[in-house]
Amino acid sequence: TQSTRPQRMLAAVHNNATRGDPRSVVKAIDQFCRQKEWAMNIGDEKGCILDSVVSEVNPAMVLELGTYCGYSTVRIASQLPPHAKIITLEFNPQNAAVARQIIAWAGLGEKIKLIEGSSGDWIPKLKEQFGVDTFDLVFLDHWKDRYLPDTKLMEECGLLRKGSILLADNVICPGTPEYLEYIRNSPRYKSQYFKSHLEYTRVEDGLEKSIFLG
Ligand SMILES: O=C(NC/C=C/[C@H]1O[C@@H](Sc2ccncc2)[C@H](O)[C@@H]1O)c1cc([N+](=O)[O-])cc(O)c1O
Ligand SMILES: [Mg+2]
């Protein structure tokens, strides 16, 4: 039977990355996407901006919306301080299954909690189910029309504190106009745009970094 692109990406990780070495996993996926098949990972160029935000925030608790195959999950988790954790939400069971194996190959299973389900269902349950207080960093990379409703949901559920950072992928391409309009005009956030390119292409895209002011 025909394999899927995430399954072919997983095979590339098994064949080209060293078990327990997150950076080699990231490199193997980027090589696969440049040389074989484009895929919607944040990629190496925007990934460096993600890396710099993670190291600046040095978060104890991270929430990722949209695991896909786990590329950004591995990138973030490989930079977390000891005892820090990332919760990542993935809707598609096939993507989740591949992500679990890529995360395991990177040796980061202890730092990452992958939840299968949708952000809309799970955001209201994170406190009671996982004893979460607030998130220091949230990375938004799931369905683009969910960025705004899920941000409002996180506010309502008390998951953000003064100083929490939201980092959103694809604010130009594919684009998240409603989210940008809200976050850039809300007095409760201070935002900054990081201009870059859509993964593995020369098309403009960028990340929006926003600080919740409480
Ligand atoms: O569509 C994009 N991303 C949507 C990502 C969606 C991922 O998150 C869940 S949805 C979900 C997960 C959790 N909760 C609710 C829904 C999907 O199963 C998928 O794994 C995208 C598209 C392009 N592009 O160029 O077309 C480039 C990108 O960087 C992108 O991120
Ligand atoms: Mg993206």
- Separation of CA 40 and ligand 2 centre (Å): 6
Q: Would you state the structure tokens that stand for residue 167, as one six-digit string? A: 């980092």
Residue with tokens 């190496």, as numbered in its chain: 44
Tens-place pLDDT, residues 71-101: 999 999 999 999 999 999 999 999 999 999 9
Query: Ligand 1, closest atom to CA 43?
Result: 29
Which residues form the catalytic set?
Answer: 141, 144, 169-170, 199
Q: DSSP string covering 55-105, please? A: HHH--SEEEEE--TTSHHHHHHHTTPPTT-EEEEEE--HHHHHHHHHHHHH
Q: Is the CB of 92 under 6 A from ligand 1?
A: yes
The pLDDT value given to residue 54: 98
pTM of the model: 0.98
Q: Is the CB of 91 under 6 A from ligand 1?
A: yes
pLDDT band with cut points at 50, 70 and 90 for residue 163: very high
The pLDDT value given to residue 1: 79
Asked if 22 contacts 78 with a C-beta cutoff of 8 angstroms, the reply is: yes
Q: Does residue 189 carry a pLDDT above 90?
A: yes
Residue nearest to atom 3 of ligand 1 (CA): 142
Q: Does residue 190 carry a pLDDT above 90?
A: yes
Closest alpha carbon to 153 in 187, 192, 114, 179 = 179
- Separation of CA 22 and ligand 1 centre (Å): 22
Q: Is the CB of 33 under 6 A from ligand 1?
A: no
Tens-place pLDDT, residues 38-71: 999 999 999 999 999 999 999 999 999 999 999 9
Question: What percent of the chain has pLDDT above 70?
Answer: 100
CB-proximal residues (5 Å) to ion ligand 2 = 141, 169-170
Q: Tell me 203's DSSP state.
A: S
